[in-house]
Amino acid sequence: MSNILIIKHGSLGDLIQANGAIKDIREHYKNRKIFLLTSQPYAIFMSECPYIDGVLIDKRLPRWNLFFLFNLRKLLSKYNFSKVIDLQNSSRTKFYRKFILKNSEWISSFDTLEKGQTKADFDTYPVLDRMELQLKQDNIPVTYLKDIDLDWAKRDLSSLIKKFTNRDYILIFPFCSKKNLKKKWPYYENLISQIRREYKNRYSVLVAPGPNEIEEALKLNANVVLDDGKSVDINQLISLINGAKFIISNDTGPAHIASHLKKKGIALFGSHTSPKKVSIETTHFKALSVKNLSDLEVGTVMKIIKERLN
């Protein structure tokens, strides 16, 4: 029987959000083999996902690299993919559709557009709404898409956490990739100091940096969670977030994880996008949006934390 390919390269937050759609695809195509094409940083993590049968790695090298394209097409041709569900919907995957997997049936945002609608118009919809429309285009019932289950990714992290605190903890993600610095609120150091003064006998303040954020994290007045001196992996990160009493974050992957784990917390947004568009708010996890993040005062954030945590 022919196989199905789901394409989702990343980022981490986007991949986490796609888990519900992937589970719905699995439920609908119970008797088909389903594979995920993703980026190297997420391959090991997603290889444990129970909704797929295997993970293929896309190095995403430049498209003028003919050797790369030849090898990618050779790899994908081995699996006889009759259907491709493109959850990435990028210019790259549009290129793959035309030149790499041109004989497969494709389900993408381009196939979901209404008459006269442009992809730019479609992309203004909330991200989970866009996925829902795609799945419905393929007559896939939507059950889990907006009720994302990450239980499969959780681990027992109690022994690691004990190295950094013996109390309940507030988890903060003050980091941001260098290419998305506009997402970064600049006053976390001050906020951490205020939280420690307010909750010194009740909560510890923890940060969990990525590999390129450790040096920055060590300058903060917080407990830096590392595993044998290295950043925690994605499963550990999910488990660490799951154990927190409250999360404060920029608009990054950990914020999306917290949202879908139904944790209490807040994500800080500037004008780069809206919480609605990225589908991040839930009953427990909220967003605070301002035009310019540098104008968002520490006292405003602290007030919301006290209101929602107490």
Residue 118 has pLDDT above 80, yes or no: yes
Q: Distance (Å, rounded) from C-alpha 180 to C-alpha 182?
A: 5
The predicted-structure confidence for 221-231, as pLDDT tens digits, reads as follows 999 999 999 99
Q: Which one, of 136, 218, 143, 139, lies nearest residue 175 by Cα? A: 218
Q: Are residues 38 and 139 in the same domain?
A: yes
Computed over its alpha carbons, how large is the radius of gyration of the chain? 21
* 3-state per-residue secondary structure call for 246-267: EEEEECCHHHHHHHHCCCCEEE
Q: At 144, is the secondary structure helix, strand, or coil?
A: coil
Q: Are residues 142 and 26 in the same domain?
A: yes
| Mean pLDDT in residue range 294-300 | 95
Q: Distance (Å, rounded) from C-alpha 133 to C-alpha 126?
A: 11
| Mean pLDDT in residue range 256-263 | 96
The secondary element (H helix, E strand) that includes residue 77 is: helix 66-77
| Mean pLDDT in residue range 60-73 | 95
In angstroms, the Cα distances linking 282 to 11, 260, 272, 285, 289 are 20, 8, 20, 5, 15
Last residue of a domain, one of 92, 115, 149: 149
> Is the distance from CB of 203 to CB of 169 less than 8 angstroms?
yes
Residue 17 has pLDDT above 70, yes or no: yes
| Mean pLDDT in residue range 21-27 | 98
Helix axes 127-137, 12-28, angle to 10 degrees: 30
- What pLDDT is attached to residue 43? 96
Q: Are residues 113 and 20 in the same domain?
A: yes
Largest distance between two CA atoms of the chain = 63
82 φ/ψ angles, rounded to the nearest 5 degrees: -90, -20
Q: Are residues 80 and 187 in the same domain?
A: no
Question: Which residue intervals of 152-262 are DSSP H helices?
Answer: 158-161, 188-198, 214-217, 234-243, 253-260
Express as a percent the part of the chain with pLDDT over 70. Answer: 100
Q: What is the CATH number of the domain that holds 293?
A: 3.40.50.2000
Q: Are residues 241 and 174 in the same domain?
A: yes
Residue 180 has pLDDT above 90, yes or no: no
Q: Are residues 172 and 188 in the same domain?
A: yes
End-to-end CA distance of the chain: give it in Å, rounded: 55
The predicted-structure confidence for 119-156, as pLDDT tens digits, reads as follows 888 888 999 999 999 999 999 999 999 999 999 999 99
pLDDT band at 179 (very low <50, low <70, confident <90, very high): confident
Q: Distance (Å, rounded) from C-alpha 280 to C-alpha 259?
A: 6
For residue 253, what are the domain limits?
Answer: 153-309
> Is the distance from CB of 104 to CB of 128 less than 8 angstroms?
no
Q: Are residues 185 and 282 in the same domain?
A: yes
Q: Are residues 181 and 282 in the same domain?
A: yes
- What pLDDT is attached to residue 310? 73
Last residue of a domain, one of 93, 122, 149: 149
Q: Are residues 299 and 235 in the same domain?
A: yes
pLDDT band at 249 (very low <50, low <70, confident <90, very high): very high
| Mean pLDDT in residue range 97-114 | 92
178's tokens: 């260098």
In this structure, the strands spanning 105-107 and 246-250 are unpaired
The predicted-structure confidence for 188-238, as pLDDT tens digits, reads as follows 999 999 999 999 889 999 999 999 999 999 999 999 999 999 999 999 999
Q: Are residues 25 and 91 in the same domain?
A: yes
What letter does residue 289 receive in the DSSP assignment? E
Q: Distance (Å, rounded) from C-alpha 55 to C-alpha 18?
A: 15
> Is the distance from CB of 229 to CB of 196 less than 8 angstroms?
no
Domain count of the chain? 2
The predicted-structure confidence for 74-105, as pLDDT tens digits, reads as follows 999 999 999 999 999 999 999 999 999 999 99
Q: Are residues 133 and 256 in the same domain?
A: no
261's tokens: 């784990």
H helix and E strand count, the chain:
13, 11
Burial grade of 141 (CB within 10 A; 0-12, 13-18, 19 or more):
exposed
| Mean pLDDT in residue range 24-31 | 96
Q: Are residues 114 and 255 in the same domain?
A: no
| Mean pLDDT in residue range 155-181 | 92
220 φ/ψ angles, rounded to the nearest 5 degrees: -90, 155
Mean pLDDT of the chain: 94
Q: Which one, of 164, 14, 162, 159, lies nearest residue 88 by Cα? A: 14
Residue 176 has pLDDT above 90, yes or no: no
pLDDT band at 1 (very low <50, low <70, confident <90, very high): low
In this structure, the strands spanning 34-38 and 168-173 are unpaired
Last residue of a domain, one of 149, 164, 198: 149
The alpha carbon of 34 is separated from its chain's Cα centroid by a whole number of angstroms, namely: 21
- What pLDDT is attached to residue 71? 96
